[in-house]
Amino acid sequence: MRLYVMLIYVFLYAPIGFIVGGSFNSGKQAMVWQGFSLDWYGKAFSNPLIMEALTTSLYIALVNAVLSAIIGTLTALGLQRVGGWTRAGFDALIYIAIMVPGIVIGISTLIAFVTVFDAVNPLLSVRLEMGAWAVIAAHVLFNTAVVALLVRARLQGMDRSLVEASEDLYATPFGTFRQVVLPLLAPSILAGFLLAFTFSFEDFIIAYFVAGPDVTLPIYIFSSIRRGVTPEINAVGSVVVLSSFILLIAAQLILRRSGRPAG
Amino acid sequence: MNLFMYQLHRGVVGEVDSVIEFRKVTKRFGDVVAVADNDLAVMPGEFLSILGPSGCGKTTSLRMMAGFEQPTSGEVFIRGANVTGVPAYRRPVNMVFQHYALFPHLAVSANVSYGLRQRSPKPAAAEIARAVDEALAMVRLSGYGQRRIHELSGGQQQRVALARALINRPAVLLLDEPLAALDRKLRRDMQIELQNLQRDVGITFLLVTHDQEEALSMSDRVCVMREGRIVQTGSPRELYDRPVSRYVADFVGKTNFFKGPSAGEVLSIRPELIDIAASEAELPAGVSARFSVKVLNRIFLGEHTEYVVAHARLGEFMVMAPRKTERHAGLYEIGEMIAAGWRPEAERILPND
């Protein structure tokens, strides 16, 4: 049992361990150990191309996570109020959005954008084209569904009488939403936000289709790997792993805090 | 308060305006009629219970008073004002929910102060704190303000729910099967506590329950419902002694039914009104109906013993023998032939509905 569990962990984390280990290699070849050094981190962080890609990725991930959390939550709340076929239809659409492979979303959003841009660009003074905003739009499409599912699960598990108790205690519908519904949904909204952020941050396939001239971090890594894996890329990868880790711990702390006495 | 209610019923004092009133209220859910054409007036300061089996419309009635449901037709009045169509958050009534519905993300004090904090203008913080302390003291939970809801026992949660509602001094406190989730011992304690609380605060209580013992022991008046209609309203004693139909007699207390004088009628005799003795001759004087019966079962319950006896023509019936009479008569054994009988005034002919 012990050995079995350890093998699973080794299988899961060994590749990440290699990346992190390789990032401290002083030599130029990622695969040949030549001594410990932090040089590659310095190089990575002083590489303007990497920093620009990182900024673009963070920007896309953040905007996407905020929009998905808001739209997804509103979707879940709205679906709570409709019934029958309308609800079944939207449920189906949500599941489809999640099940469709990334490459299909990539191709279809690309075609959609191209068609729409071709149609409206002659009518506008500004020129719409592929780029970070197109990536955000495509990511929000997928992540809204994820957030909606998470929030809906929480909503369905929520005791309906809590809303009634709030109304019974003179809170207006908006007051009830602000003081009861939102705080109770907060953990699932936050979880959705983090999932959306992570998904967007590490997405390569969809971004590759619609990013246009903008370069996200996964796109940068992919294009530089064609020139060989360098410890510099390992350093970037290690930083990404570390930041995801910090993000997860932060989320855990927030979730745990929400379980403690409030005022 | 009870004397006042008594005088009110007897017409000693003049007409008093009701706190809540139903006028010809009907509620339909699709094809199902949950509440049918009900008139009901709740008087100020009384403890009224609506009693009935599940699905009889009692909870729907309560929800229409709270404002969670609106009647399909008819009108609801609170303190003389027509509140039909007015949402729950604008009605001066508060509710204790069946599973308490305490806000899990708020501490006890924040739960209790919730209603006060919705007022506009919002009362000063010090004023709210004082009111919360008072309300918690009233339900004997002083010092529990900073606790989380999940740290409390069922009985404590129940009391927080009461404090959260009563702090607002509602026109009527609505209680939806508030004791159903508690265990038997705690339920007895809470029954007494609820009664005392009601007497102390002087607020009208309206309780919905399917537990006849609960309704009888706590209320000034009980309203028995069946399939959306009010069958009988009266004091617990009136319902027990003068039920209007077989349904009420059956639902309120235990009783024996025998074949009535006509097809549409039954004869009802309460088990404690039946005398038993070793032989027909030993039955007390004044007992008109005397039968020779066989003891089928005996359950010793402490203050009385419950016998099931059988008569050749009447069939099986139940007898409650108090300990006092048993002392000189002794216990009867299962299988023994004994005598049973009752006085003419024990007989009650009721419509067989």
Distance CA A251, CA A229 (A): 32
User: pLDDT confidence of B330, banded at 50, 70, 90?
Assistant: low
A interface test, pick of B105, B146, B174 with most A CB neighbours within 10 Å:
B105
Question: Which member of A180, A260, A263 has the closest CB to residue B103?
Answer: A180
Nearest chain A alpha carbon to B65: A168
Is residue B15 within a helix (H) or strand (E), and if so which, with residue range?
A: none
User: pLDDT confidence of B180, banded at 50, 70, 90?
Assistant: confident
Residue A182 in tokens: 């939102």
For residue A179, the chain B residues in CB contact (below 8 A) are: 114
So what's the ipTM on this one?
Answer: 0.83
Instruction: Compute how many other C-beta atoms are within 10 angstroms of the C-beta atom of residue B20.
Output: 24
The answer on B289 and B240 residing in a single domain is: no
Q: Which phi and psi angles does B145 have, rounded to 5°?
A: -55, -40
Three-state SS for B34-88 is EEEEEEEEECCCCEEEEECCCCCCHHHHHHHHHCCCCCCEEEEEECCEECCCCCH
The answer on B270 and B142 residing in a single domain is: no
Give the bridge partners for B311, in sequence order: B315
- Secondary structure (DSSP) of A172-239: -HHHHIIIIIHHHHHHHHHHHHHHHHHHHHH--HHHHHH-TT---HHHHHHHHHTT---HHHHHHHHH
Q: Which phi and psi angles does B209 have, rounded to 5°?
A: -155, 155
Subunit contact B97:A161, Cβ cutoff 8 A: yes
Edge-to-edge, what's the strand order for the sheet holding B172-176?
Answer: B93-96, B172-176, B204-209, B47-51, B221-226, B229-234
Distance CA A173, CA A152 (A): 19
Question: Which member of B68, B89, B110 has the closest CB to residue A172?
Answer: B89
The answer on B243 and B307 residing in a single domain is: no
Distance CA A157, CA A254 (A): 21
Helix locations, chain A, DSSP H: 2-23, 39-46, 48-81, 84-99, 102-120, 132-157, 160-168, 173-176, 182-202, 205-210, 217-225, 231-257
Total number of domains in chain B:
2
Let me know: does B108 contact B150? Beta carbons within 8 Å: no
The answer on B182 and B201 residing in a single domain is: yes
Q: What is the pLDDT of residue B12?
A: 44
Subunit contact B89:A162, Cβ cutoff 8 A: no
The answer on B167 and B44 residing in a single domain is: yes
Nearest chain A alpha carbon to B164: A169
User: pLDDT confidence of B147, banded at 50, 70, 90?
Assistant: very high
By mean pLDDT, which of A93-102, A146-155, B180-189, B256-265 is the weakest? B180-189
Question: Which member of A162, A172, A176 has the closest CB to residue B101?
Answer: A162
Whether B168 contacts chain A with CB within 8 A? yes
Let me know: does A109 contact A210? Beta carbons within 8 Å: yes
Let me know: does B255 contact B264? Beta carbons within 8 Å: no
Q: What is the pLDDT of residue B351?
A: 93
Distance CA B320, CA B314 (A): 17
Q: What is the pLDDT of residue A257?
A: 62
Question: Which member of B98, B104, B114 has the closest CB to residue A169?
Answer: B114
Q: What is the pLDDT of residue A258?
A: 55
Subunit contact A167:B89, Cβ cutoff 8 A: yes
- The answer, yes or no, to whether residue B109 has pLDDT greater than 90, is yes
Nearest chain B alpha carbon to A261: B107
Q: Which phi and psi angles does A135 have, rounded to 5°?
A: -65, -45
Cα separation values, A256 from A65, A150, A157, A253, B120, Å: 21, 18, 19, 5, 33
The residue segments making up the domain with residue B67 are 3-248
Give the bridge partners for B205, in sequence order: B47, B173
- Using a CB–CB cut-off of 8 Å, the residues of A that contact B are 159, 161-162, 164-173, 175-176, 179-180, 183-184, 258, 260-263
CA-wise closest residue to B311 among B327, B295, B289, B287: B295
Let me know: does A255 contact A190? Beta carbons within 8 Å: yes
Q: What is the pLDDT of residue A254?
A: 65
For residue A176, the chain B residues in CB contact (below 8 A) are: 89
The answer on B194 and B334 residing in a single domain is: no
Q: Are strands B289-300 and B304-311 parallel, antiparallel or unpaired?
A: antiparallel
Is the previous residue joined to B121 through a cis bond, with omega within 30 degrees of 0? yes
In angstroms, the separation between the Cα of residue A169 and the nearest Cα of chain B is 5
Give pTM, 2 decimals.
Answer: 0.80
The answer on B167 and B66 residing in a single domain is: yes
Q: pLDDT tens digit string along B270-327?
A: 999 999 888 888 888 888 889 999 999 988 888 888 999 999 989 999 999 887 665 5
CATH of the domain spanning A2-257, picked from 1.10.3720.10, 1.10.3680.10, 3.30.230.10, 1.20.1250.20: 1.10.3720.10
Ranges under pLDDT 50 in chain A? 259-263
The answer on B215 and B279 residing in a single domain is: no
Q: What is the pLDDT of residue B156?
A: 94
Q: What is the pLDDT of residue B328?
A: 53
Domain boundaries, chain A: 2-257
The answer on B313 and B220 residing in a single domain is: no
The answer on B167 and B278 residing in a single domain is: no
Q: What is the pLDDT of residue B303?
A: 81
Nearest chain A alpha carbon to B89: A170
